[in-house]
Homo-oligomer: A and B are copies of this chain.
Amino acid sequence: MARDKSAVKPTEAELTLLNILWQMGPATVRQIHESVSATQKTGYTTVLKILQIMHEKSLVIRDETNRAHVYAAANSEMHTQSSLIKDLISKAFGGSTSKLVMRAIDESTSAEEINDIRQLLNSLEK
């Protein structure tokens, strides 16, 4: 059975590249590789290969107009984050969002972040 596109969950390496694409916007393999090289030692062709696989999975789109293809995230950061968090809630938190929030907040969470969350709650209709 063909896998539903929306069900595609990026692997860890793929998520690393998506983070770069969300931050930089559309970019060539070279640019992406340079960015990822700042924190990891990964070969150029490794990055290329992962991007090609991501393209097959429709995790990225690419513009082949020029010699150096330009890659871009297929889905927004927000969309992907929502899907990742829903997946975790269902698989590790018995479907309970509040349980997840309880675990997410701990002593290391800054007062500023707590405030942001309070404001979010205040803005809800419910």
Contact = CB atoms under 8 A, between A and B. Distances in A.
A96 to B, nearest CB: 7
A118 B121 contact: yes
Interface stretch (A24-32, A49-57, A61-69, A77-85): A77-85
A120 B92 contact: no
Looking at A80, A94, A117, the one whose CB has the most chain B CB atoms below 10 A away is A117
Copies, count? 2
Nearest to A80: B92
Interface residues of A, number: 38
A98 B120 contact: yes
B91 A12 contact: yes
Contacts of A103: 78, 81-82, 85
Contacts of A120: 98, 101-102, 105
A1 to B, nearest CB: 16
A10 to B, nearest CB: 9
